[in-house]
Chain A
Amino acid sequence: MSIEVRNVTKKFGSYVAVNDVSVTIPSGQLVALLGPSGSGKTTLLRVIAGLEQQDGGAVWMNGVDVTEQPARVRNVGFVFQHYALFKHMSVAENIGFPLRVRKRRPAEIDSEVRQLLHLVRLEGFDKRYPSQLSGGQRQRVALARALAAKPNVLLLDEPFGSLDAKVRMELRQWLRRLHDEISVTSVFVTHDQEEALEVADRIVVMNQGRVEQEGTPQEIFEHPKTKFVMSFLGAVNIFHGRVQKGRAIFGGHEEEFEDHPHEEAKPAQGYVRPHELDIDRTPRAERSYPATVRHVNVAGPTVKVELLLRDQQTVVQAYLGRERYQELKLQPGEAVYVVPRQLRIFVQDEDDEDSP
């Protein structure tokens, strides 16, 4: 079942949490709402669930306008960040709750609950109370409960937010497999870009109540449309250059840049991820920046090299493969050249806040 969010705005007093957002979530997909805290992602999720009344716009599900429907008739499964399990009910009673309020027969409820316990791998836990479960187990109970009424869509608010790193990794891979199994349209909110990139079919990146970019993890990661998306999805190095007459000039090297055909020269920033930087002892034909090696960290799967550019201000990080590092045998203090293999150029706006 698809979800369509049309021009939704939600304010809390004078604070605009969601600002004219339109998003389409295709049927059967697992979509991540990714953004920093305060980006409006949770508010948007709650608007979709009907837990928050929007100030403008509409929500459609499967071609039906559900804007005026209260939460309980939208039939969404909602998984809360802190699980919101009913503390005075056992695991089985929690999972059976949506069936009990729908007045199903006890025998039917029993068999459904058993199937769901099997689905979330918690057989034998039916008589436990939430206080007797670990965080990961509680999260799975919350998920089973949300799925019990066969919801049209599944909404998860920071589903792994309050779990420790290891449980988090396991659960998100499990969620991905579970989704492939039951393929209910699902939206989950996260501030963790790794989680979004690993689990989601599509990612909606949000910032300050607006959608920055929407696409598959690959599109978002490889072709970020804005500086925000670029820097939110991982570590970046910023090189300064300028653009003029359809050309971009970075590090004494010119290349084609169609986005700025104007006569007037403008400062621009080139964004490069650390693994897209190469290091060499001699300057290459491509753009290259003279730099000094400051620090080398060999621990980990890649070798992390910190360098200071010749301007004596800009510090850049480069991640080298182990073979390349063996070849170069870099020493701190050595003069080398930094070569960006790929540069994403953003022209600086006049009203840019993060302009230097």
Chain B
Amino acid sequence: MKGRTDTPWWVRYLVFLMAMGLAGVILLVPLANVLFRAFSGGLGAYFGALADPDTVHAVFLTLFVAVVSVVFNTVFGVAAAWAIGKYSFRGKALLVTLIDLPFSVSPVISGLIFVLLFGAPSALGRWLDGHNVQILFATPGIVVATLFVTFPFVAREVLPIMEATGTDQEEAALTLGASPWQTFRHVTLPTVKWGVIYGVLLCTARAIGEFGAVAVVSGKIAGKTDTMSLRVEKLYQEYQGRAAFAVATLFLGLAVVTLVLKSAVEWRVKRALREAAPSTGSGQAPSEAA
């Protein structure tokens, strides 16, 4: 370890070991426990637990909800970031606050909001009931709750890049004869590409892992409205610890994939932000080979 401080080497190592030890206790030991418990009955039992029809249904429901949320939030997030980053309009600050709102509301409360909104006691709930539309305790409710919770991810990642890039390149494209769509497609989108990918990654991970909001609206009907995370909880409550941990390994795999992709994308986002600032080329040539 190298440093510019006068801290003695043994202090630095001690602090380092403490941090690593803490991470080990609260991260690695539980993870090892998950794997150990999942495979405690052997591979056959492990795959048997995963092949359970209700579990398979939960996996596909979770993937469906994640895809819908990611697609919607990507379209919305890029559009919102574009409007906020490139234009000034009345209500801009309000829109930014609204985008951040899901971050500051507890997921369980978010779920509860939808229960109150779509539930039988409300006028909307009665109207929906009268028209035979089922939102709560069905897939639409899960989608809506997940959408709400994952709302900010793409917009929040794309907005800083949009703002830092300014409007120079877009103005140039317009004077060069590009239509607004061509400008967006060929100029704006490529500059925020890595921000979008990063946002999609975070959004996907959260959509798959969401528990609180979904737990409130889903009704937890096995084989119908159980998502993966709800399934883990239910199996565990039913004393099927091994099956619960088997499903949990799927989350573990997802976490590893997310972590790897996240660190790969993160530095590209940083580079995009660095390059976004209008260059004021002062005339120095990095490689003047004419």
Instruction: Give the contact stretch, choosing among B2-10, B240-248, B272-280.
Output: B272-280
Contact of B177 among A84, A135, A139, A149 (CB under 8 A): A149
Instruction: Mark contacts of B131-168 with chain A using CB atoms, 8 A cut-off: 1 yes-contact digit, 0 otherwise.
Output: 00000000000000000000000000000000000001
In whole angstroms, what is the CA distance A138 to B169 when docked? 14
Contact of A105 with B by CB under 8 A: no
Contact of B91 with A by CB under 8 A: no
Is B284 within 8 A of A101, CB to CB?
Answer: no
Contact of A218 with B by CB under 8 A: no
Is A82 within 8 A of B175, CB to CB?
Answer: no
Instruction: Mark contacts of A155-169 with chain B using CB atoms, 8 A cut-off: 1 yes-contact digit, 0 otherwise.
Output: 000000011100100
Instruction: Mark contacts of A217-249 with chain B using CB atoms, 8 A cut-off: 1 yes-contact digit, 0 otherwise.
Output: 000000000000000000000000000000000
Contact of A175 with B by CB under 8 A: no
CB-CB nearest in chain A for B176: A98
Instruction: Mark contacts of B162-206 with chain A using CB atoms, 8 A cut-off: 1 yes-contact digit, 0 otherwise.
Output: 000000110111111111001000110011000000000000000
Contact of B130 with A by CB under 8 A: no
In whole angstroms, what is the CA distance A167 to B284 when docked? 10
Q: Which residues of A contact B172 (CB under 8 A)?
A: 78, 80, 84-86, 145
CB-CB nearest in chain B for A71: B174
Contact of B26 with A by CB under 8 A: no
Instruction: Give the contact stretch, choosing among A126-134, A208-216, A280-288.
Output: A126-134
* Majority SS at the chain B contact face: loop
Is B171 within 8 A of A87, CB to CB?
Answer: no
Is B284 within 8 A of A135, CB to CB?
Answer: yes
Instruction: Mark contacts of B275-290 with chain A using CB atoms, 8 A cut-off: 1 yes-contact digit, 0 otherwise.
Output: 1001111111111101
Is B190 within 8 A of A83, CB to CB?
Answer: no
Is B281 within 8 A of A83, CB to CB?
Answer: yes
Contact of B169 among A51, A86, A100 (CB under 8 A): A86
Is B281 within 8 A of A87, CB to CB?
Answer: no
A84-B168, A88-B190, A88-B191 given; A76·B283 CB < 8 A = no
Closest chain-A Cβ to B165's Cβ sits at a distance in Å of 9
CB-CB nearest in chain A for B193: A88
Contact of B286 among A70, A80, A97, A132 (CB under 8 A): A132
Contact of A26 with B by CB under 8 A: no
Q: Which residues of B contact A106 (CB under 8 A)?
A: none
Q: Which residues of B contact A146 (CB under 8 A)?
A: 175-176
In whole angstroms, what is the CA distance A51 to B172 when docked? 10
Contact of A56 with B by CB under 8 A: no
Contact of A329 with B by CB under 8 A: no
Is B182 within 8 A of A134, CB to CB?
Answer: no
* A interface bracket (residues with beta carbon within 8 Å of B): 35 or more
A80-B168, A82-B168, A84-B172 given; A101·B281 CB < 8 A = no
Is A162 within 8 A of B282, CB to CB?
Answer: yes
Contact of A49 with B by CB under 8 A: yes
CB-CB nearest in chain A for B285: A134
* B interface bracket (residues with beta carbon within 8 Å of A): 20 to 34
Is B177 within 8 A of A72, CB to CB?
Answer: yes
Is A76 within 8 A of B191, CB to CB?
Answer: no
Q: For window 103-138 of chain A, which residues contact chain B by CB distance below 8 Å?
A: 121, 124-125, 130-138
Q: Which residues of B contact A148 (CB under 8 A)?
A: 176
Is A75 within 8 A of B177, CB to CB?
Answer: yes
Q: Which residues of B contact A145 (CB under 8 A)?
A: 172, 176
Closest chain-A Cβ to B190's Cβ sits at a distance in Å of 4
Q: Which residues of A contact B175 (CB under 8 A)?
A: 49-51, 71-72, 74, 76-78, 146
A134-B284, A163-B283 given; A51·B174 CB < 8 A = yes
In whole angstroms, what is the CA distance A75 to B284 when docked? 32
Q: Which residues of A contact B190 (CB under 8 A)?
A: 86, 88
Q: Which residues of A contact B280 (CB under 8 A)?
A: 82, 162
A87-B191, A88-B190, A101-B182 given; A82·B279 CB < 8 A = yes
Closest chain-A Cβ to B245's Cβ sits at a distance in Å of 45
Closest chain-A Cβ to B184's Cβ sits at a distance in Å of 12
A49-B175, A98-B176 given; A167·B283 CB < 8 A = yes
A82-B168, A84-B171 given; A134·B177 CB < 8 A = no
In whole angstroms, what is the CA distance A100 to B288 when docked? 28
Q: Which residues of B contact A135 (CB under 8 A)?
A: 281-284
A72-B178, A72-B179, A145-B176 given; A164·B283 CB < 8 A = yes
Q: Which residues of A contact B169 (CB under 8 A)?
A: 84-87
In whole angstroms, what is the CA distance A153 to B275 when docked? 31
Is A101 within 8 A of B275, CB to CB?
Answer: no
Closest chain-B Cβ to A51's Cβ sits at a distance in Å of 6
CB-CB nearest in chain B for A51: B171
Q: Which residues of A contact B179 (CB under 8 A)?
A: 72, 101
CB-CB nearest in chain A for B190: A88
Q: Which residues of A contact B287 (CB under 8 A)?
A: 132
In whole angstroms, what is the CA distance A85 to B280 when docked? 12
Is A97 within 8 A of B275, CB to CB?
Answer: no
CB-CB nearest in chain B for A46: B171
In whole angstroms, what is the CA distance A76 to B187 when docked? 19
Q: Which residues of B contact A86 (CB under 8 A)?
A: 169, 172-173, 186-187, 190
Sample (30) of A-B pairs whose CB atoms are under 8 Å apart? A51-B175, A72-B174, A72-B176, A72-B177, A72-B179, A73-B177, A76-B175, A78-B172, A80-B168, A83-B281, A84-B171, A85-B169, A86-B169, A86-B173, A86-B186, A86-B190, A97-B178, A98-B177, A101-B176, A101-B177, A101-B178, A124-B290, A133-B281, A134-B283, A134-B285, A136-B285, A139-B281, A148-B176, A149-B176, A162-B283
Beyond the given pairs A84-B168, A132-B287, A145-B176, 5 more chain A to chain B contacts, judged by CB atoms under 8 angstroms and listed by A's residue number, are: A51-B175, A72-B177, A74-B175, A101-B179, A136-B285
Give the B-binding residues of A (Cβ under 8 A).
49-51, 70-78, 80, 82-88, 97-98, 100-102, 121, 124-125, 130-139, 145-146, 148-149, 162-164, 167
Give the A-binding residues of B (Cβ under 8 A).
168-169, 171-179, 182, 186-187, 190-191, 275, 278-288, 290
